[in-house]
């Protein structure tokens, strides 16, 4: 298995746009020819668009884009810009001489970062789609990860900055990539470890607080919050829509390996899968690579984030620890 750039998966275009001053953005993964796709939603508070049509029993079997964005439900407007771009390119589902681009989306709640009135609109969605023409990827506080944060159970003032991350792998002809915008309620860890990377951070005390412990200490209190980790896994494996649906569900294991707690009533955790159907491959083999790639994309989202909007990040805390130990 070798690592490759996320932009090296043939048949996909990836674009991002953001407003780093106001703290929101959008990331889109486009397939001009159409990709067999599926979704698995585990969180209790999703903000999504066109996920019902991804049920294998429904008519549409291929889609043209997955959009990941900030802005909560307001951010769903950005898909209209992606649709406009795809229509201009003639990409979509053909119906009696008409073309209707099929665009699915999930949004995360980033309104506490920057301006609470900022969200990705149609213009920003179009900009992200247009940017996909020039393969370039930035992890961290870009695209859908611009306003992302983690560890908000004890208030936004005790959160840490996160972002968007990616990882892609190749074994022989098989290519699998993953993109994750991490805005989780829980803490983020290195996969299958106790090495905590980010979560609740009490700035006044300069102390990290384990979210699971905080939940148990507040069992009789309301723990409202708006959080989500939204992801897209892309591949060239030749899998049908039922298999892609199973793959999306299996990829939720990556969230379980890195985020604690996860899939809470306060999360909208959503995983999309897309494939160009180019390489015959066993589903189990694809899932092993996909889960590894998505786990590492989540870690990349944390480690690539910079301190913004008054929040510390993994990188800024590591700098402080290094100075204290010098």
99-122 tens-digit pLDDT: 899 999 999 999 888 899 999 999
Predicted pLDDT at 275: 98
* CA dist., res. 68 & res. 6, Å (int): 16
13-47 tens-digit pLDDT: 999 999 999 999 999 999 999 999 999 998 777 88
* CA dist., res. 66 & res. 296, Å (int): 20
Predicted pLDDT at 210: 72
Tokens 């890195």: give the residue: 258
Q: How many CA atoms lie within 13 A of 242 on its CB side?
A: 1
The alpha helices in 12-57, defined as continuous H runs, are: none
End-to-end CA distance of the chain: give it in Å, rounded: 37
3-14 tens-digit pLDDT: 999 999 999 999
DSSP secondary structure letters along 163-229: -EEEEEEEETTEEEEEEEEEE-SSEEESTTSS-EEESEEETTTTEEE-HHHHHHHTTTS-----BEE
58-89 tens-digit pLDDT: 878 899 999 999 999 999 999 999 999 999 99
* CA dist., res. 42 & res. 92, Å (int): 28
Average pLDDT over residues 228-249: 96
Residue 221 in this model has a pLDDT that exceeds 60: no
* CA dist., res. 113 & res. 118, Å (int): 9
239-252 tens-digit pLDDT: 999 999 999 999 99
* CA dist., res. 180 & res. 294, Å (int): 7
250-301 tens-digit pLDDT: 999 999 999 988 888 878 899 999 999 999 999 999 999 999 999 999 999 9
Q: Are 284 and 43 in contact (CB under 8 A)?
A: no
The three-point CA angle 228-244-181 to 5° equals: 25
Question: Considering only 101-105, 165-169, 198-202, which range has the smallest mean pLDDT?
Answer: 198-202
Predicted pLDDT at 222: 53
Predicted pLDDT at 212: 67
Name the CA radius of gyration of the chain, rounded: 19
Distances (CA, A) of 98 to 65, 66, 101, 212: 18, 21, 10, 51
Predicted pLDDT at 224: 55
- The pLDDT mean for the chain works out to 90
Q: Are 231 and 38 in contact (CB under 8 A)?
A: no
Q: Is 258 helix (H, G, I), strand (E, B) or coil?
A: helix
With 0-12 / 13-18 / 19 or more C-beta atoms within 10 angstroms meaning exposed / middle / buried, residue 325 is exposed
């Amino acid at each position: 298995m070798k690592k490759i750039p996320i932009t090296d998966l043939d048949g996909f275009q990836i674009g991002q746009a953001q407003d780093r001053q106001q703290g929101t953005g959008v990331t889109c993964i486009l397939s001009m020819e159409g990709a067999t796709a599926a979704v698995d939603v585990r969180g209790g508070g999703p903000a999504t668009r066109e996920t019902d049509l991804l049920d294998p029993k429904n008519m549409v079997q291929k889609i043209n884009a997955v959009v990941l964005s900030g802005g909560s439900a307001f951010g769903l407007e950005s898909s209209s810009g992606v649709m406009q771009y795809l229509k201009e390119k003639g990409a979509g589902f053909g119906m009696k001489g008409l073309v209707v681009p099929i665009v699915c989306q999930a949004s995360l709640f980033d309104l506490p970062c920057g301006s609470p009135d900022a969200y990705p609109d149609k213009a920003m969605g179009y900009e992200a789609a247009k940017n996909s023409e020039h393969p370039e990827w930035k992890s961290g506080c870009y695209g859908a990860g611009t306003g992302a944060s983690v560890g908000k159970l004890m208030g936004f003032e005790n959160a840490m900055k996160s972002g968007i991350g990616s990882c892609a792998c190749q074994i022989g002809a098989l290519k699998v990539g993953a993109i994750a915008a991490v805005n989780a309620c829980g803490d983020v860890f290195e996969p299958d470890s106790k090495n905590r990377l980010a979560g609740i951070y009490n700035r006044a005390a300069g102390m990290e607080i384990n979210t699971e412990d905080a939940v148990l200490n507040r069992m009789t209190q309301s723990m409202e919050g708006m959080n989500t980790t939204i992801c897209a896994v892309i591949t060239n494996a030749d899998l049908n829509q039922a298999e892609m649906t199973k793959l999306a569900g299996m990829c939720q294991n990556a969230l379980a390996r890195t985020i604690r707690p996860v899939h809470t009533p306060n999360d909208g955790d959503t995983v999309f899968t897309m494939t160009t159907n180019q390489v015959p491959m066993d589903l189990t083999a694809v899932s092993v690579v996909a889960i590894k790639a998505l786990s590492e994309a989540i870690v990349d989202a944390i480690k690539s984030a910079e301190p913004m909007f008054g929040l510390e990040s993994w990188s800024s805390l590591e700098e402080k620890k290094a100075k204290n130990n010098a």
